[in-house]
Structure 1
Amino acid sequence: MIDLATWNLSIPEGSPPTTIQTSQLVEGFQDQYFRADSGTVFFWAPVTGATTANAIYPRSELRETYSNGTQRNWLYSAADNKLAATLTVNQVPSTGKLVIGQIHAKDSTSPMVKLEYQYKTYSSTGNIVAKVRMRPDDESGQVITIATGIKLNQSFSYLIHLSPAGVLTINGAGYQWSSPISSTWSDKPLYFKAGVYVQDNTGYPTEGGTVTFSLLDIDHI
């Protein structure tokens, strides 16, 4: 089973979009956008879904919390910070792009890390691509291809690890990339996110992103 006791959930419905609180997830919440059963967690986000403030794309996405439901934010120097996942991408929108994991910054519209699955129709496979801002004031960031050749419905794993020394390591489908980040991140509260954040907002209501996680785990050690 995936422990949902340290997450809340944003679903692409309502204005503003609805947040499902930690206690509701623990009690077994499910709907068309989110379902947790048989040891897996299923996410669906249509391209026509509602979007959160300052976002142009819909998401069905978990956000890190404490067990009492309050939002958890952390400084990277306080612990070894890890987000580990095993998942399959089942459906992609016409752009082929889904964000499947993030390190976000509190009170910022731009995350430190966005981990994307990018599907290529010509090869019928996808790449795992990390978009990383090395500094908080970095507008464009770096784009790093972590792994290639991952088919739809093929299980793969990733690990996003930010050490107390400020070294960011991303593992994906057996490949690894690592780099120190700027110390200017050191006073910025951060938090993990995971789920399906479609990088598309046009198309039919049946178009969107579907992802199924069989492992999803946060550690601050």
Structure 2
Amino acid sequence: MIDLSTWMLSVPEGTPAQTISTPTLVSGFKDKYFHSDTGTLFFWAPVTGTVTESAIYPRCELREANADGSVRNWLYGAADNTLRATLSVDQVPSSGKVVIGQIHVYGSNQPLLKVEYQYKTKTQTGNIVAKVRYHLDDDEPTVIQVATGVPLGKQFNYLIHLSPGGMLSVDSAGYTWADQISATWKASQLYFKAGVYTQDNTGDTTEGGTVTFYKLAIAHSTSS
């Protein structure tokens, strides 16, 4: 069973989009956008869904939290920070793009890292892409292709790792990418996100992103 006590949830309903608290999530919350009663996590974000403040695309996405429902943020230098998942991307919007994991920044609209699935009609498979802002003041991320050949509906893994020394890596679908981020991030309050963030906002109510997570775990490990 996936531990939901480290998360809160945003669903694409209401204006701005509704936040489901950690205690409510743990007690078995479910709706048409999210459910966990099968032992897996189902996420659905239609292109017609409402958006969070300052966003232009809809999401059904978990945000790192404490068990009491308060937000959890961290400094990367304080621990070895990992987000590990097994999932399948089951539907994509017409853009072909859904974000499936992030390292976000408290008080900012610009994440440090987005991990994105990009479906390619020509190959009938998807690429896993990392969008990285190496420096705190980067206006645009650097786009890195991490993995290729991931079909819709097929399970794959990802591991996001940010070390205390600022080494960032993304392992996914048998491929690995790693690089050093700038020390300008050292004082930033960071947090993990996971789910489906649909990178499209045009179409009908049946169009959007659907993702199923089979495993999902956060760790912040300190050396003894």
Category of TM-score, reference length = shorter chain: over 0.9
Task: For residue 25 of structure 1, give the secondary structure of its aligned residue in structure 2.
Answer: helix
Listed one character per residue, the Cα deviations across residues 154-200 of structure 1 (whole Å, up to 9, x for unaligned) are 10000000000010011010110111100000000000000000000
Distance across 2 between alignment mates of 1:215 and 1:75:
25
Distance across 1 between alignment mates of 2:53 and 2:70:
19
Listed one character per residue, the Cα deviations across residues 48-102 of structure 1 (whole Å, up to 9, x for unaligned) are 0001111100000000001111000000000000000000000000000000000
RMSD of aligned C-alpha atoms? 0.5
Task: For residue 146 of structure 1, give the secondary structure of its aligned residue in structure 2.
Answer: strand
Count of aligned pairs: 221
Q: What TM-score results when the alignment is normalised by the length of structure 2?
A: 0.98
The equivalent residue for 2:72 is: 72
Mark the runs of 5 or more structure 1 residues left unpaired by the alignment. none
Distance across 2 between alignment mates of 1:169 and 1:123:
26
Shift of 1:3: 0.4
Q: What TM-score results when the alignment is normalised by the length of structure 1?
A: 0.99
Distance across 2 between alignment mates of 1:20 and 1:38:
19
User: What is the correspondence of 1:16-165 to structure 2 with a 5 Å cutoff?
Assistant: 16-165=16-165
The list of structure 1 runs, each at least 4 consecutive aligned residues, that deviate by more than 2 angstroms after superposition, is none
* Amino acid across the alignment from 1:173: A
Identity between Structure 1 and Structure 2 (%): 62
User: What is the correspondence of 1:160-199 to structure 2 with a 5 Å cutoff?
Assistant: 160-199=160-199
Distance across 2 between alignment mates of 1:79 and 1:39:
29
Distance across 2 between alignment mates of 1:141 and 1:175:
20
Distance across 1 between alignment mates of 2:19 and 2:124:
34
Shift of 1:38: 2.7
Task: For residue 202 of structure 2, give the secondary structure of its aligned residue in structure 1.
Answer: coil
* Amino acid across the alignment from 1:105: V
Task: For residue 77 of structure 2, give the secondary structure of its aligned residue in structure 1.
Answer: helix
